[in-house]
Amino acid sequence: MRLPLSTLLSLATGSALLAQGGDLIYTTSTVEQTLTGSGGTVLQTIHPNDIVGLPVFPCPRLAEKWLPRNAFMTMAGDEDGDNAYWEPSLLGRINALLTTQTFTGMPNNGRKVWYSPSISMGTTVSGAPSLRTGDIGRIVRTGAGDGKVEYFIRQEAINNALGLPLTTTINVDAAAFGPNQGLFLSLADDIVCNPCGGPVLLRDGDVFCLPPSAYALTAMLTIGATAANSAVVVYTEAQMDAFVANAQVTNRFGACVPAAIDTTALEIDFSIAASLVLPGCTGTPVFVPTLLFTTESLTGGAILTTAGGGQIYTASCGPMGTNCGSGPTLGQQIGLRPPMATLGIPSFVNALAWSRVFTYTAESQVAQIPMGTPARIDFNTPGLNTWVFLTFAPTGPGAVAPSTAFTWGMLGHPDYYLTPNFMGVIPGGFATYVSPPIPFVCDLVFQGVTISSAGLIEASTPTMIEVF
């Protein structure tokens, strides 16, 4: 299918949009609600293992669920072998996000974004080592089937760069990557290690870098081998504290935030040129870009930048936080609903990445239903209608639903689930599909298909229903 001219122009200008402050995806630290209410559907409730999309327009910015946790469960299958697809704590909090596809000018989707979990996945479907807290990876379909894991970087490679034993358990808490800038990371826990410059107590607020000279990129633009003891600490926790204090930003209570506590999200701030140059261990200097970041102390969901010694990041619709003396940071800046007009959301932003956002989501209202009960699936559809399809999934310990490439789509979910049965049509926007009563015990995958306003045929994220 031929792409409209507007779409081609959008792809070609992706880097320019980043420089102006583009779409973001992020995760929260606690359960939150969208500012829009998402049409009263279950899509309004944001969990720490959902990924949220925040488009650059309109103003005020409106967030919607972009990749629901139920889609992760569908892709992963029965990863812990307990004979159930429903795993509401799968991945725990999503601690880090990377979107290398952004740098190619193409859109991202649930198979292309990279993430790091706060709880390691089981190995029943994927095989060892699966996706661990020290890895950055994604759940994919390979020649060996669905529920497998691809890695942007493995724990062992990070440990090698930090001068740690390769088997050391670590927890990646924040990540940002640029092909010419390197990989910037922060860990969730303090740890004694031996990076560039010698032994150090690496704190959970520190930011360190694996510069491009310290690793080999694969053909997929992922990081393979790393040089031993090559990681460079670019900002200490004390420096991150200073950035936060200088930003003069409030938390959810309206109090001015004095320190970082723990760095929780990183992304490269392309709007301001880098000015920091540090010595590296390979004889090549390390150029540190301006970074967007969030911290555990930034309840209300503020996003800051290291520019100017620490500031509230200003995007297309305004500052991503509230200045000291001007009231609380409410969460509306990131499209989430505060509990009241004078109190912000309890969350801090737990992971953050640039991404062109295309939202087409499906999520079951209740993921496990008794036999004889109708399934209820909520959709957020970008087209005029959604054609709803149902697929019977394999059952038993270690089962995973098989998928295949959805070759017609360009922006939505890239796979559909075999063998689809057409169930009916519902209107576009936020809408609910209600099935006939399911007469027997089974596992089901529901998915939608639409024709977008750009004239493209797109598939929604998948969602599971278990009938008992």
The per-residue pLDDT for range 143-179, each reduced to its tens digit, is 999 999 999 999 999 999 999 999 999 999 999 999 8
pLDDT tens, position by position, 331-355? 999 999 999 999 999 999 999 999 9
Q: pLDDT at residue 130 above 60?
A: yes
Mean pLDDT, all residues of the chain: 93
Is the distance from CB of 186 to CB of 174 less than 8 angstroms?
yes
Q: Residue 283's pLDDT is what?
A: 83
Give the helix/strand (H/E) hosting 424. strand 421-437
Is the distance from CB of 351 to CB of 265 less than 8 angstroms?
yes
Query: What CA–CA distance (Å, rounded) separates 378 from 59?
Result: 25
For residue 28, give every residue at least 6 positions away whose Cβ sits within 8 Å of its Cβ, in sequence order, or none. 46, 47, 48, 50, 52, 301, 336, 345, 347, 348, 349, 350
Q: What number is the average pLDDT over the span 262-284? A: 90
Tokens of residue 18, six digits? 């980043």
Q: How many CB atoms lie within 10 A of CB 173?
A: 26
Q: What percent of the chain has pLDDT over 90?
A: 89
Q: pLDDT at residue 110 above 90?
A: yes
Q: pLDDT at residue 453 above 90?
A: no
Domain ranges of the chain: 5-354, 361-467
Question: How would residue 270 be classed by pLDDT, with cut points 50, 70 and 90?
Answer: confident
Is the distance from CB of 188 to CB of 169 less than 8 angstroms?
no
Overall fold of domain 361-467: Immunoglobulin-like (2.60.40)
What's 438's DSSP letter? P
